[in-house]
Chains A and B, each alone.
Chain A
């Protein structure tokens, strides 16, 4: 009897562990991509995955200004959210990729991110029975650059959010979904604060690149888009980021220099106070906005209302 109890107490935790650890085999490209996104098999030292920097709880962004990659190496740009990618036309802060498939493979090879040649990643996947079978089942072929990119990008495409208080207000006519302050903030967003001139559309961004004044050639030296296009007119320009889920994607800007939305709004209100000798700053920001403290708070409340309810506590 005693032996039976011992056996049972030993087996039950094992069964529990097995049930927790067992994940269903991916049946679709997106499901396979989800698995790959969190698997460090795609990094040189097998310690870093896409999810190491694109953290689900923070709308697949990071809370650090710069995310550590393989062996703690730091890049120079803030990890953007991997959500709401479906309608985007360019990827990365400098727009160096024009499709999600192209984007998906670049961090794997980047020496300061995952540092693994894509050919080596493919070889690893081919020598892994689980992945080889999964790729064969889903794509009818062995892992390849094309199918790896397809799986990862399909997963990213699935990360759409449309359940923010703002959506609830506008889509469902639920007047109680956002506060009076957020409604005033929306009006400011469209008028005095000029945000709408760059942040519009379903994801509150657009396809353009703009210089908001974070390049001065001395303290702030990331030239952004011009490193890709080699055009002087693109100096200091960066992709206009989506504002969806912005309450949980701090720190902000391409270099993560602002820790809070308040800091961001203060910057836009009067950029010269933060970076006085910016080069090529957009003419939209040529004069201070002269927002009052109440207006700044209203804007902040509006921005917070763009965050999906799954992230709002």
Chain B
């Protein structure tokens, strides 16, 4: 009976710890490089997004850096601020991961037209490390 009681306490502790852990450890899944290749009449366009551990990110198109900004994530929501609009303003998007190597962005709120047009509905794939 005591063994059973101890086992239950242990399992309960693990469950509590796991629950707490899930809220305190940052979600690092976004870190790294993600890309999308778009076909156009003039040839392919490769979009790459780099999300870094220091909360900065860059957007790159065909090897040309074109967006530079900051982000933070809470649960499944990412807030982004970059030089395509006011740096002080953050737009928010819902993140959805598919099988860990694919990610989509759905706008929650973003008045930055340029960013909204590029990011809402965007699906990117995780790039393999070289």
Contact with A along B81-95 (1 / 0, CB 8 A): 001100100000000
Asked whether any CB of chain A lies closer than 8 Å to the CB of B13, the reply is no
Interface residues of A (CB under 8 A from B): 86-87, 157, 160, 162-163, 166-167, 169-171, 173, 186, 190-191, 196, 200-203, 244
New A-B contacts (9) at CB < 8 Å, excluding given A86-B62, A173-B50, A201-B66: A162-B63, A163-B63, A170-B65, A171-B50, A173-B52, A190-B68, A200-B66, A200-B83, A201-B84
What distance in Å separates the Cβ of B23 from its nearest Cβ neighbour in chain A?
30
Question: Is A162 touching B64 in the complex (CB atoms < 8 A)?
Answer: yes
Question: Is A170 touching B42 in the complex (CB atoms < 8 A)?
Answer: no
Asked whether any CB of chain A lies closer than 8 Å to the CB of B60, the reply is yes
When distances are taken between beta carbons in the complex, the residues of chain B under 8 Å from A163 are 63
What distance in Å separates the Cβ of B32 from its nearest Cβ neighbour in chain A?
12
Please, how many angstroms separate the alpha-carbon atoms of A167 and B61 in the complex? Answer: 11
What distance in Å separates the Cβ of B89 from its nearest Cβ neighbour in chain A?
13
When distances are taken between beta carbons in the complex, the residues of chain B under 8 Å from A202 are 61-62, 64-66
Please, how many angstroms separate the alpha-carbon atoms of A170 and B59 in the complex? Answer: 9
Give the nearest-CB partner of B66 in chain A.
A202
What distance in Å separates the Cβ of B117 from its nearest Cβ neighbour in chain A?
12
When distances are taken between beta carbons in the complex, the residues of chain A under 8 Å from B43 are 157
12 A-B contacts (beta carbon < 8 Å): A86-B62, A160-B64, A169-B65, A170-B68, A171-B48, A171-B58, A186-B68, A190-B68, A190-B83, A190-B87, A200-B83, A201-B66
Question: Is A170 touching B83 in the complex (CB atoms < 8 A)?
Answer: no
Contact with A along B36-63 (1 / 0, CB 8 A): 0000001100001010100000101111
Please, how many angstroms separate the alpha-carbon atoms of A8 and B87 in the complex? Answer: 71
The 10 A-B pairs with the shortest beta carbon distances in the complex, nearest first, are A162-B63, A170-B65, A202-B64, A202-B66, A162-B64, A202-B61, A190-B83, A170-B58, A196-B83, A201-B66
Interface residues on B, range: 10 to 19
Please, how many angstroms separate the alpha-carbon atoms of A173 and B68 in the complex? Answer: 12
User: When the two chains form the complex, which single residue of A86, A157, A166, A191 contacts B65, counting CB atoms closer than 8 Å?
Assistant: A166
What distance in Å separates the Cβ of B83 from its nearest Cβ neighbour in chain A?
5
User: When the two chains form the complex, which single residue of A86, A200, A244 contacts B84, counting CB atoms closer than 8 Å?
Assistant: A200
When distances are taken between beta carbons in the complex, the residues of chain A under 8 Å from B64 are 160, 162, 167, 202-203, 244
Please, how many angstroms separate the alpha-carbon atoms of A171 and B61 in the complex? Answer: 10
When distances are taken between beta carbons in the complex, the residues of chain A under 8 Å from B50 are 171, 173
Give the nearest-CB partner of A206 in chain B.
B114
What distance in Å separates the Cβ of A170 from its nearest Cβ neighbour in chain B?
4
Question: Is B42 touching A157 in the complex (CB atoms < 8 A)?
Answer: yes
Please, how many angstroms separate the alpha-carbon atoms of A196 and B50 in the complex? Answer: 21
Question: Is A171 touching B83 in the complex (CB atoms < 8 A)?
Answer: no
When distances are taken between beta carbons in the complex, the residues of chain A under 8 Å from B84 are 200-201
Question: Is A160 touching B62 in the complex (CB atoms < 8 A)?
Answer: yes
CB-CB under 8 A for A167 and B65, given A196-B83, A200-B83, A200-B84 = yes
Contact with A along B69-106 (1 / 0, CB 8 A): 00000000000000110010000000000000000000
User: When the two chains form the complex, which single residue of A86, A186, A203 contacts B42, counting CB atoms closer than 8 Å?
Assistant: A86
What distance in Å separates the Cβ of A132 from its nearest Cβ neighbour in chain B?
27
Question: Is A162 touching B66 in the complex (CB atoms < 8 A)?
Answer: no
What distance in Å separates the Cβ of A96 from its nearest Cβ neighbour in chain B?
21
Give the nearest-CB partner of B58 in chain A.
A170
User: When the two chains form the complex, which single residue of A171, A186, A196, A203 contacts B60, counting CB atoms closer than 8 Å?
Assistant: A171
CB-CB under 8 A for A171 and B42, given A190-B83, A190-B87, A196-B83 = no
